[in-house]
Structures are given as C-alpha cells and as structure tokens.
C-alpha cells in the first residue's frame, strides 16, 4: 500500500482515484472545486479544497510524507507547472505530472517532474497497435520498441506445440504465458500444445510481432 497525493480532480484524475482505491492505496485528493471532491469522497482517505499553486498551502500538506504526488491538472498548464515545481521544492519523493502535448512533457521534466504521463499519446499508440492488428487484444509498452502483447492463437497454430512453432528462434518473440478461460499458465514447456480457446502473452518488438503473425496467416 502506498500513500498518494493527487492534485486535480478532472475526468482523468477521477479515474486514477478509482483505480488507486481499488488497489488499496491511501489517497489525499486536492482540488479548488468542492463539487469535484464530493464525487470522490467515498474513494479517498482525505480531501482538501485548496489552490495547489499556493506554496504555503502545499507546504501545509507535508508533501514529503507521501510516496508519490500525482498532478493531473488538465485545464491550466501554468498551474500544473507551478504545482510540479513547488512539490519538488518542498521535498516530494516522486512527482508524476500529466502532459497534453510533447512540449508540455519537456517543460514538466525540466521543472521538477520525475515522470510524466501523456495519456492521449499513450492511448493513441495502444489503439493503433490494438486495432491495427488481427491478433492483438492488449498491449503494454516496455520501451519505444518492445512490449508485452496479449494475442489470439492463429488457426494455423492450434494443435501445435511450442517447440514445433519455435517462434523464439525464428522471430525473437517469447511466449511468457498462456491464458485459458481467464486462468493464466506461466509454466511454458516445449511440449505445451496450443488450443483454439487460448490467448498468449508474448514479449517482443512490434516489428518482430508483425513478421511472426503475418507468417501465421
């Protein structure tokens, strides 16, 4: 369990609150508008109305005591930038700020953000990979080139073993796990036979994935 200071309860901030709550973390939420805080009160440990650009207000929160401070102010980049800088100046351990453009991302990193979330860019990349492929069901980016993909088993692979397919040697794609009706098996052996109802978690670059599954069609 982590302690999280979340600043800015817009639509994106609310979704982060819901997910953090579901995972059992303690959340203090900050926003200038009381109505926004009222919506998420059941999901947070504490909530305060306040202006995050007010240095003394932030100081009063004891930002250094939180494991992570997340800035999700989306409607005023100047406020987001000032808040990010102040958090770091006040000794925040980890500051994660939201950006809407690449320029904002650069400015935030230069002004105190340890990490930057760029949800529009991240979702766009996910959607392009997810819906630009016949087999990919989900995708987690590991770096600019490599990711973990959840993929359907191609018809041509059904009834064949992992050793017979040999995709690691042929395409540099590694099978990490096989899912069957929601149950995940991470013990992958050469004699494991793939079934039509299976999906797989595989690791590789997008280019290697394209070659691998293009040749499976």
pLDDT, tens digit, 9 for 90 and up, residues 170-214:
999 999 999 988 789 999 999 999 999 999 999 999 889 888 887
122-214 CATH pick, 3.30.70.1450, 3.30.499.10, 3.40.50.2000, 3.20.20.70: 3.30.70.1450
pLDDT at position 216 is: 64
Classify domain 3-117 by CATH number.
Answer: 3.40.50.720
State the DSSP H helix or E strand holding residue 92, giving kind and residue range, or none if neither: none
User: Pick the residue with more confidence: 114 or 145?
Assistant: 114
pTM recorded for the entire structure: 0.75
The band of 84, judged by pLDDT with boundaries at 50, 70 and 90, is very high
* Residue 145 · residue 206 · CB < 8 Å: yes
What is the 3-state secondary structure of 97-110? EECCCHHHHHHHHH
pLDDT, one tens digit per residue, over 15-38 is 999 999 999 999 999 999 999 999
Query: Which residues contact residue 144 at a Cβ distance below 8 angstroms, ignoring those fewer than 6 apart?
Result: none
Give SS3 for 51: coil
Q: Which helix (H) or strand (E) holds 201?
A: strand 198-205
Average pLDDT over residues 112-126: 89
Handedness of CA 53, 87, 120, 39 (dihedral sign): negative
Domain boundaries, the chain: 3-117, 122-214
Q: Are strands 68-71 and 46-49 parallel, antiparallel or unpaired?
A: unpaired
Which one, of 33, 37, 1, 32, lies nearest residue 17 by Cα? 37
Other CB atoms within a 10 A radius of the CB of residue 81 amount to: 21
Confidence of residue 125 (pLDDT cuts 50, 70, 90): confident
Q: What pLDDT was estimated at residue 200? A: 93
pLDDT the model gives residue 167: 94
């Amino acid at each position: 369990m982590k302690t999280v200071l979340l600043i800015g309860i817009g639509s994106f901030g609310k979704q982060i609150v819901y997910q953090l709550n579901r995972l059992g973390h303690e959340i203090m939420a900050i926003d200038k508008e009381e109505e926004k805080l009222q919506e998420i009160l059941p999901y947070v440990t504490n909530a305060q109305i306040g202006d995050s650009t007010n240095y003394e207000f932030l100081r009063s929160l004891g930002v250094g005591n939180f494991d992570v401070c997340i800035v999700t102010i989306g409607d005023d980049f100047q406020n987001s930038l000032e808040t990010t800088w102040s958090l770091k100046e006040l000794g925040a351990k980890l500051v994660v700020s939201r950006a809407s453009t690449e320029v904002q991302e650069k400015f935030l990193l230069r002004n105190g953000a340890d990490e930057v979330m760029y949800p529009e860019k991240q979702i766009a990349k996910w959607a392009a990979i997810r819906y630009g492929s016949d087999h990919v069901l989900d995708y987690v980016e590991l770096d600019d080139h490599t990711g973990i993909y959840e993929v359907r088993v191609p018809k041509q692979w059904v009834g064949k073993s992992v050793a017979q397919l040999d995709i690691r040697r042929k395409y540099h794609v590694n099978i990490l796990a096989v899912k069957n009706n929601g149950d995940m098996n991470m013990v992958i052996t050469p004699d494991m036979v793939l079934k039509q109802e299976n999906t797989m978690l595989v690791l590789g670059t997008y280019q290697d994935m394209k070659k691998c599954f293009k040749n499976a069609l």
